[in-house]
Amino acid sequence: MAAVEELLFESIYELIVQTSTNLPADVRLAIQKAHQAENALTSAGLALSTIAKNIYMAESQVLPICQDTGMPTFKVKTPIGFNQIELKKIIQKAIAQATHNGKLRTNSVNSLTGENTGDNLGPGTPVIYFEQWEESELEIKLLLKGGGCENKNIQYSLPADLEGIGKAGRDLDGVRKCILHAVYQAQGQGCSAGFLGVSIGGDRSSGYAHAKEQLFRNLFDENPVKELEELENYIMQNANKLGIGTMGFGGDISLLGCKIGVQNRLPASFFVSVSYNCWAYRRLGIIVNPENGQINKWLYRELPKDLPNTESKIIPTFEKTIIQSSGKEIKLNTPFNPESIKQLKVGDIVLISGIIYTGRDAIHKHLSESDQCPVDLNNMLIYHCGPVVIKENELWQIKAAGPTTSIREEPYQAGLIEKFGIKAIMGKGGMGAKTLKALKENGAVYLNAIGGAAQFYSDCIKEVKGVDFLNFGVPEAMWHLRVENFPAIVTMDSHGNSLHSDIEKTSLEKLSNFQEKVYK
């Protein structure tokens, strides 16, 4: 590789590493404000303290903030005449190297065979948008958006009748209702508190692309369209009144940012497209000298100079974050004593020690179709987690291991609890009525870990004891992990109680308060 290409590779590799491990300044400030606003002793406050500590741990150790490093989406502006084909090859090489080094999780899966490519390369991966501009420098921006929040994206076709908030027409008031409904439907499954990118108009595909493009905007910029600036402010003032809270635990902070764009549309179509991003809002950018491949400037690392006087001008580092103990944490060891599990109730904080097993989509599907399991799951815990794992000196090392969204396993979970005697499920975002019924009938519980806190939880994992189903790919394999004092909150107990269904019900009632027309 020529000297310029080598330096360009190094610059893009550094962009990938920093985006995965180091949150931008505006996002840090938004999270700090949320952290200060919540009561530290509530579940939401505990979650925000965990998030703050995790941000510091990821930055200081240069490891992924969240184990789901998402779909790498590059937005690239090149000078006229610059070779975009060669730049694409360099980006792909940097992605593969970052994956090999454990800075990205192996996330590219063949949609027909289910096979993981192992290097994050394949048709459609990574996503690269090229645009020419009349500047002499290269601008390369990167967004890492995980699957949990990607699954909470939503697109509305107006007019529509929306649950809780009523009829939404083809006007700005209908758009307002759609955005509030989008916050409601995400609940805690998108790792709230989150951020929204919204597009009004376009067609179905351009609407989603334009919505994601809004996530490249700075949280403190000013919308050039006055009506949209007012709507962004309205959403920020009112979405948090739904009471969904961090991780869907309830609380005052459900949304941290909202950016809205508009496109022309066809007369027959009126789409409102919403791109939901979790609190781990990973986006950075670089300005590169195309003649030598070196970085001239970083984007998003500094706070804007024209911040409102009400905003802090100091970039939060979170190194002094203290997670307050209630003194009421319940220590449990695996295999569990069934009677101890039955005594747990919603709201209890537990500290798990012993062996736990990871299991995601492929494991759940496989076990649902087989009576055989390579390990004894009776009185044990299944952790919905797809970790970042690499081999060092012939030993498996966990580099990031936060929870994945549990609701995807709803079709399988009840059957597996009954079949294998599982006593605890751990993930994020909660599960549905079928699983709740199985928990009650089998004396089991659902434990909610803090979504995105991949370094915080990695610190609780002391050893990889083994692995099964590695043929499914690293994220989908069943990892045997020895943990110590692994914290989680009981949000579904063996008595038929579910914090998630309670919050969904109350937030729907609060959503109905916004039915009255605001924009005439």
pLDDT at 367: 97
Q: Please answer whether residues 223 and 161 qualify as being in contact, where contact means their C-beta atoms are separated by less than 8 angstroms.
A: no
SS3 percent helix, strand, coil of the chain, rounded to 5, is 35, 25, 40
Rounded CA separation 403/399 (Å): 14
Q: What is the pLDDT of residues 8-27, one digit of tens each?
A: 999 999 999 999 999 999 99
Nearest to 249 by CA among 43, 52, 403: 43
Please indicate, yes or no, if residue 25 is contained in any of the structural domains: yes
Rounded CA separation 265/261 (Å): 13
Residue spans of alpha helices (H) in 43-141: 43-61, 84-100
- Give the residue numbers spanning the domain of 363: 330-503
Choosing from 322, 351, 382, the residue where a domain stops is 322
pLDDT at 313: 78
Residues 6+ apart with CB under 8 A from 471: none
pLDDT at 371: 86
Choosing from 322, 345, 380, the residue where a domain stops is 322
Q: 439 and 316: one domain?
A: no
Q: What is the pLDDT of residues 473-483, one digit of tens each?
A: 999 999 999 99
Please indicate, yes or no, if residue 518 is contained in any of the structural domains: no
Place of tokens 């939901």: 276
Residues 6+ apart with CB under 8 A from 374: 468, 469, 478
Question: What is the distance of C-alpha 408 from the center of its chain?
Answer: 14
Please indicate, yes or no, if residue 514 is contained in any of the structural domains: no
Please indicate, yes or no, if residue 510 is contained in any of the structural domains: no
Rounded CA separation 301/304 (Å): 9
Q: What percent of the chain lies above the pLDDT cut of 90?
A: 92
pLDDT at 414: 98
Q: Tell me which H or E stretch contains 383.
A: strand 381-383
Q: Please answer whether residues 287 and 138 qualify as being in contact, where contact means their C-beta atoms are separated by less than 8 angstroms.
A: yes
pLDDT at 247: 96
User: What band does 1 get if pLDDT is binned at 50, 70 and 90?
Assistant: low
pTM equals: 0.95
Mean pLDDT for 43-59 is 94
Beta bridge partner(s), residue 427 = 448
Q: Please answer whether residues 16 and 281 qualify as being in contact, where contact means their C-beta atoms are separated by less than 8 angstroms.
A: no
- What region, left, alpha or beta, does residue 429 occupy, with left being phi > 0 and alpha being psi -120 to 50 degrees? left
Please indicate, yes or no, if residue 453 is contained in any of the structural domains: yes
Q: 405 and 454: one domain?
A: yes
- Number of compact structural domains in the chain: 3
Q: What is the pLDDT of residues 250-282, one digit of tens each?
A: 999 999 999 999 999 999 999 999 999 999 999
Q: 382 and 420: one domain?
A: yes
Average pLDDT score over the chain: 95
Q: Tell me which H or E stretch contains 437.
A: helix 433-442
Mean pLDDT for 362-369 is 96
DSSP 471-492: GG-TTTSEEEEEEEEEEEEEEE
Choosing from 322, 349, 383, the residue where a domain stops is 322
Which of the 8 DSSP states describes residue 336?
Answer: P
User: What band does 41 get if pLDDT is binned at 50, 70 and 90?
Assistant: confident
User: What band does 238 get if pLDDT is binned at 50, 70 and 90?
Assistant: very high
Strand duo 478-492 + 461-468: pairing: antiparallel
Q: 154 and 98: one domain?
A: no
Q: 273 and 295: one domain?
A: no
Q: 177 and 156: one domain?
A: yes
Mean pLDDT for 159-184 is 98
Rounded CA separation 426/113 (Å): 28
Cis peptide before 374 (omega within 30 of 0): no
Q: What is the pLDDT of residues 174-227, one digit of tens each?
A: 999 999 999 999 999 989 999 999 999 999 999 999 999 999 999 999 999 999
Question: Which own/partner pairs from 32-40 qualify as long-range (CB within 8 Å, at least 24 positions apart)?
Answer: 32/312, 32/316, 32/318, 34/193, 34/246, 34/253, 34/256, 37/252, 37/253, 38/245, 38/246, 38/251, 38/252, 38/253, 40/324
CA-based max dimension of the chain: 70
Query: With 70 as the cut, is the pLDDT of residue 407 above it?
Result: yes
pLDDT at 320: 81
- What region, left, alpha or beta, does residue 337 occupy, with left being phi > 0 and alpha being psi -120 to 50 degrees? beta
Q: 142 and 155: one domain?
A: no
95: its two tokens = 């992605």
Which of the 8 DSSP states describes residue 337?
Answer: P
Q: 185 and 310: one domain?
A: no
Please indicate, yes or no, if residue 201 is contained in any of the structural domains: yes
Q: 86 and 8: one domain?
A: yes
Q: 33 and 74: one domain?
A: yes
Q: 264 and 310: one domain?
A: no
Please indicate, yes or no, if residue 87 is contained in any of the structural domains: yes
Beta bridge partner(s), residue 79 = 133
Please indicate, yes or no, if residue 395 is contained in any of the structural domains: yes
Q: 336 and 458: one domain?
A: yes
DSSP 145-191: E-HHHHTT-EEEESSEEETTTEEE-SSHHHHHHHHHHHHHHHTTTT-
